[in-house]
Structure 1
Amino acid sequence: AGVELERLYEGDTAPWQVFCHDSEEFRTRPRPAASLETDKGTETFDPALLEFVYPYQRETLLPAKVTATQLKGRPLDEEISQNARHTPYLRPLSQPRFRQERQGLTAAEQGTATHLVLQYLDFSNVDVAGQVESLRLRGLLTDEQAAAVDQEALERFLRSPLAEEIRHGQNVRREYPFTLLMDARDYDPDAAAGESILLQGVVDCCFETEEGITVVDFKTDRVLTDAEVRRRAEQYRPQLEAYSRALERVLERPVVRRELYFLRAGASVEL
């Protein structure tokens, strides 16, 4: 600091040690990094490094997380999963809110409203209209959602043999969420062993019998004929298989049955 020291304190400084350093002692520059050439001018860079191929390149393309819905392979479903890849496609521009309200809910929004009703629906009460109105008054459904619910389809479901089984089932769970690590090879069979992906999902409904767990998934797809129902059901097989793996690990009981119920067609398909 440019201050001349006459002498250091020489009293009793038992726990202290005082040193005086000259800044000139630290002026030595660090040695520069080795260049590409040695003192003799020979090249030290190994060209083989440019040909190196990372052995786990495929794994760098795996998503960190997938949803059970995404396993159907629809690009729109892949977008809701963090770090999920999707193929390029044209997406429609969003409409202004006033146009959406004037034209009613989209098909996807109507399906969401129906699933919301199924979450709270009392399966022992066939008065669907009364239950929907109750949900609206409680603020669980908007006016637009309540009007868009296919009440006739829900009443048909409540009269179905599947609904009767659910009413007599044990440990009935609805909108059951799960998060667990899955083997990456269940998503990509060519992935390396030991790689994992986070799997998330929500099971519409499941119940238990003495034999094991029955998984039920409700669909609002616009399918009517038996051929359309069967063809569409196969597209959902990976999703139901993911639900089964998750429930077996979480509930520690075997899944013995997987049921898809198409509300519009009033048809149940076992996968």
Structure 2
Amino acid sequence: MPVSEAAEEVSRILSWKYANEASTQVAAKTSITALKKNDASPPSPVIGHDDSSLDQEKERQSAEGWDEPPVNAASSFRLRRPQFMSARSLSPAERGTAFHLVMQHLPMTDGIDENTITEMLDSLVAKRILSGEQRQGVDAAAIAVFCRTPIYDRMRASARVWREVPFTYGIAADKVYPGVSGLPAEETVIIQGVIDCLFAEDDGLVLVDYKTDVLKGLAGEEAAEKHRFQVEQYCGAVSAILGRPVKEAYVYFFDGGQTVRLV
């Protein structure tokens, strides 16, 4: 091969660029929680996929499944804190995990009061479902307030209630990262999340997302707006996977016992 042709070949090889380079700058798998934190903007470039944002959601994954078309939920698990860390108090995220764990086991019966909740918490500790430390981080009175809400009455009246159910589904990459140009039209991003509560009524599904945020004087409606993206994405995922509409979606704040409708 003449020197000039060899030089051209070397130059061509060295200047080659991957046609789908934009795809290497975004995560191939992420969570709705992570997207919410980033305001749906692309994360920093990563190698492979970014699982760091899934840790908190994995802690809340339950062992319950779906009796009708599953949300692609395989085995689920909760991550426990190492024993050497057990001496300190619960972090806000761990407190939220404890509340969600209790809500997963909340009885759907009439007449639940603070004493009933206290007995249930002690029972969960005895069964080693809840640690003693987690038990101290859960306010029985706050749970009892929830049991006096209209949304809880609707749950009890429902023929089917799902709680703490993980899901996985794929959506077009350009919808997940609208600010990134050059993503292939066929590129799919895997999205994961955990639904706190979903129950069925005759004309559709109702989704409830529990929050242990400290509102610090904020009205529930104002505080709920920062969770709108997450809740709307959950509704879209459920509707797409189950083929049934989510007719209503609510955020429930244990701080103040406020129920706010977002959908």
- Native 8 Å contact 2:155 2:199 kept in 1: yes
Distance 2:216 2:252 in 1: 12
- Native 8 Å contact 1:224 1:265 kept in 2: no
**Deviation (angstroms), 1:262:** 0.8
> How high is the TM-score relative to the length of structure 1?
0.71
- Native 8 Å contact 1:224 1:264 kept in 2: no
Distance 1:269 1:200 in 2: 24
> How high is the TM-score relative to the length of structure 2?
0.73
The equivalent residue for 1:148 is 137
The equivalent residue for 1:203 is 195
Q: How do 1:60-209 residues align onto structure 2 when only pairs under 5 Å count?
A: 60-73=24-37, 83-84=49-50, 100-124=85-109, 125-126=112-113, 127-189=116-178, 190=180, 191-209=183-201
Q: Which amino acid aligns with 2:102?
A: V
SS at match of 2:4: coil
Identity of aligned residues (%): 33
After superposition, what is the alpha-carbon deviation per residue over 1:68-96, rounded to whole angstroms, capped at 9, x for unaligned?
Answer: 22222169xx89xx72299xxxxxxxxx9
Distance 1:74 1:195 in 2: 20
Distance 1:45 1:244 in 2: 57
Q: Rg bigger for which structure?
A: 1
**Deviation (angstroms), 1:152:** 1.4
Q: Which amino acid aligns with 1:45?
A: A
**Deviation (angstroms), 1:53:** 4.8
Q: Which amino acid aligns with 2:254?
A: L
Distance 1:252 1:175 in 2: 20
Q: Which amino acid aligns with 2:209?
A: D
After superposition, what is the alpha-carbon deviation per residue over 1:209-234, rounded to whole angstroms, capped at 9, x for unaligned?
Answer: 1221111110001114343x333322
Q: How many residues align?
A: 218
Whether 1:56 aligns to 2:50 is no
Distance 2:30 2:4 in 1: 51
4+ long deviations beyond 6 Å:
none
**Deviation (angstroms), 1:235:** 2.0
**Deviation (angstroms), 1:251:** 1.8
Distance 2:22 2:228 in 1: 25
Distance 1:50 1:157 in 2: 64
Q: Which amino acid aligns with 2:249?
A: R
Q: Which amino acid aligns with 2:20?
A: Y
The equivalent residue for 1:248 is 239
Q: Which amino acid aligns with 1:146?
A: R
| 2:250 corresponds to which of 239, 243, 259 | 259
Q: Which amino acid aligns with 2:170?
A: L
Distance 2:142 2:127 in 1: 22
Q: Which amino acid aligns with 1:246?
A: A
Distance 1:71 1:169 in 2: 31
Distance 1:97 1:196 in 2: 39
